[in-house]
Homo-oligomer: A and B are copies of this chain.
Amino acid sequence: MSHPIVFPSAESQSSVSHIRVDQDRLWNALQELGELGAYRDEETGLHGVRRLALTDQDMEGRRLVMGWMQEAGLSLRVDQIGNVYARRAGAQDVLPPVMIGSHIDSVGTAGKFDGCLGVLGGLEVIRTLNDHGVITRRPIEVAIFTEEEGVRFGTDMLGSAVAAGRLGLREALETTDRDGVSVGAELEHHGFAGEVQVPITAPYAYLECHIEQGPILAADNTRIGVVRGVQAITWKELQLTGRAAHAGATPHSLRRNAGLAAALVTVRLNEMVESGEYGQMLATVGRQDTYPNLINIVPSNVLMTVDLRNPDAAAMERAEADLNTYLGDVERLTGVSITSRTTAKTPPVAFPVEMQDLVAKSATNLGFSYAEITSGAGHDAGEIAALCPAGMIFVPGLYDGISHNPREYSTPEACADGINVLLQAAVELAN
C-alpha cells in the first residue's frame, strides 16, 4: 500500500470522545431516502424499496444524498464508473483522506438500511463534525459506490471493484442488464461518467458501517459487530438446453428436460451445504427462468443462477469443482447440455487486526458491547481493502437480521450506535 498507516497508541485521546451523532437526524435521513423507489410488496404487505443501480430511482436517491452532501459543505467528484466522492477538507489537506463509504443502490425487494446506513452514516459524521467545528488533520471523504448489489448488471461490488482495480473499467462499462443496456450507456445517460481516473488513488484508510444482515448480534443483545472479514462469493449463471416436447406423448426416456436438470442441480447444491463437507458454505439458486414455461410442454431451456458463499477459499474451490463435476453427471443423465459462466468471484477478505482493534476500542470507549463476526454478505469494504487498511462496523437487525426484504429493520438506537463508533474511529484515523 502506498501510504503506510500509523495507528494511534492506546493512550492517545480522540478529540471527539465527548461528541455524539444526532440520532433523529440520521434516522430521518434514512426514512427520507427510503421513500425513493418505494413499492408495495406483495409478500409482506409492506412498503419496500426498489432502487436498482443506475435506474431513475437510483438517480433520485443520488440527487437527494448529493444535495445533502453539498449543503454540508462537501466538494463532490465522480469517477469513471460513477462512484461519488464527497470531500471534507483536512488541516493537512494534501494527505490521503480517511474514506467512509457504502452504496445506495438496492435489490428489487429491499428495506431502507442495506448500504444506506453506511452512506448516510458517513454524512452524519460530517454533519456532526460541522456542528462542533471539528477540524481533522486528514481530509474525510464519503463515498457512494455504483451497483454494489449486482442485481441489475450481474456483478456485485461493481463500482468499488473498479475503483480498487480488481475489475477492469472497460469490462465493467460493457456489462449489460437483462435488456441489453450497458453500464456505460446508463452512466452517460444519467451524467455519471465522471472524470476521476480508476483505479483511484489509495485513501489512508477505509471504514464502513452496515447492518449485519444476519441473526447473530441480535440473538445476544450485542450492540456492535467488529467485522473480521468478508467471505468468498462466487456467482454463476447456468444455461441449460434440452428439447421441448409434448408432455402427454413423450416417454421420459426420450426427453431432454431442462427443468428436471435445473431441479437436480438445485437439490444437489442443498445437499452439498447440508453434508458439511464444504465448511460454512451457503448456496442459493435465486433466479430460474423456464422456457417455454407452459403447463404441457417439457421445458427446453432454463437459465438459473448459483450464489455460493464461503469464508474458506479452499472449500469454495472444492465446491466449485464438485459442482462442475455434477453438472457433467446431469448432462449425461438427462441429455440436457449445460454451460456455466462465472459472473462474479471475490476471494475471502480478512480486515487488518489493527482496524478490527480500532473498531473494538471505539465501541468499548462508548460503553457498547461488541462481538467479532464474519460478514456473510459482500461489501464495498472487501474491495477497497485492496487499496488501504479497511474495517467494518455491524449493527444488529431485527427478525433474524432479515435483509433484501422490506421487513429489514434496525432500530434508531442501533443505527446511531454504529455511527457513533464510526465517528470515533474515523476521527482517530484522521488525526
Q: Which residue of B lies closest to A400 (CB)?
A: B254
How many copies of this chain are found per oligomer? 2
Closest CB-CB distance, A241 to chain B, in whole Å?
Answer: 8
Contact B109 A244 (CB under 8 A): yes
Interface residues on A, range: 35 or more
Knowing A151-B295, A294-B286 are in contact, say whether A260-B249 is a contact too (CB < 8 A): no
Q: In the bound complex, how far is the Cα of B294 from the Cα of A156, in angstroms?
A: 12
Give the chain B neighbours of A286 by CB distance below 8 A. Answer: 247, 259, 290, 293-299
Contact A246 B213 (CB under 8 A): yes
Cβ of A231 under 8 Å from chain B: yes
Give the chain B neighbours of A244 by CB distance below 8 A. Answer: 43, 109, 402, 404-405
Give the chain B neighbours of A309 by CB distance below 8 A. Answer: 247-248
Contact A287 B293 (CB under 8 A): yes
Which residues A237-266 have CB closer than 8 A to chain B? 243-252, 254, 257, 259-260, 262-264, 266
Cβ of A376 under 8 Å from chain B: yes
Contact B292 A296 (CB under 8 A): no
Cβ of A378 under 8 Å from chain B: yes
Q: In the bound complex, how far is the Cα of B302 from the Cα of A287, in angstroms?
A: 11
Q: Which residue of B lies closest to A154 (CB)?
A: B295
| Stretch touching chain B among A115-123, A190-198, A199-207, A267-275 | A267-275
Cβ of A150 under 8 Å from chain B: yes
Cβ of A149 under 8 Å from chain B: yes
Give the chain B neighbours of A405 by CB distance below 8 A. Answer: 243-246, 297
Contact A215 B296 (CB under 8 A): no
Contact B43 A301 (CB under 8 A): yes
CB < 8 Å: which of B246, B252, B266, B291 contacts A403?
B246
Closest CB-CB distance, A253 to chain B, in whole Å?
Answer: 9
Q: Which residue of B lies closest to A296 (CB)?
A: B307
Contact B250 A282 (CB under 8 A): yes
9 interchain pairs, CB-CB under 8 A = A107-B292, A235-B295, A243-B402, A247-B286, A250-B401, A254-B400, A260-B267, A288-B290, A296-B404
Task: List A residues at the B interface (Cβ < 8 Å).
Answer: 43, 107-109, 149-151, 154, 156, 212-215, 231, 233, 235, 243-252, 254, 257, 259-260, 262-264, 266-267, 270, 273-274, 282, 284-301, 305, 307, 309, 375-378, 400-405
Given contacts A244-B405, A259-B285, 13 further A-B contacts (CB under 8 A): A150-B296, A233-B248, A245-B405, A247-B309, A247-B404, A248-B309, A248-B375, A250-B282, A263-B266, A284-B296, A286-B298, A288-B288, A289-B290
